[in-house]
Amino acid sequence: MTIENTRPEPPVTSPSIVLLTLARRIESELGAALTPLGLTVGRFGLLGHIAGVPGASFSDLARMSGITVQSVHTAVKALTGAGLVRDGTARAGSASRLEITPEGARLMTEALRATAEVDERLFGAAADPVLRQVGDAVRAAFEEAAPPDLQAN
């Protein structure tokens, strides 16, 4: 009678599982960095969309953010109440023309600084070498995909 090695083969590395795990870690780190600024990851993203796509409709914002139109309305109401966003139209029956306020722009600058710190911690020179490779690959993929006038020099 022989005893066979019953140890299973290591699982095949799934890019989906690896990226999902990494995404949760990034969201947790970014959330912790944004909390002192009074922002969540979702509201930071929505504020960025409003700043980056002037005149975007609530439907556009919902598509870009991957949330419902109702959720966008709720979040925009909170951002407006906090003085970060204003509706340039603000008339019943008219399409909204959302824009970021000076306070919203200031907060975006702080949030982008916090994001850069998270990026450095997770993907920078002192990070795990595998994560550095992931960060480099992501940056390279998007630099190559960007129109020439938007690429970093």
Domain contains 85: yes
**pLDDT for residue 88:** 74
Percent of the chain surpassing pLDDT 90: 70
Domain contains 137: no
Domain of 52, CATH number, reads 1.10.10.10
Domain contains 92: yes
Domain count, the chain: 1
Inform me whether the pLDDT recorded for 129 exceeds 70: yes
The three state secondary structure string of the chain is CCCCCCCCCCCCCCHHHHHHHHHHHHHHHHHHHHHHHCCCHHHHHHHHHHHHCCCCCHHHHHHHHCCCHHHHHHHHHHHHHCCCEEECCCCCCCCCCEEECHHHHHHHHHHHHHHHHHHHHHHCCCCCHHHHHHHHHHHHHHHHHCCHHHCCC
Domain contains 99: yes
Domain contains 29: no
**pLDDT for residue 9:** 78
- Domain containing residue 101: 39-124
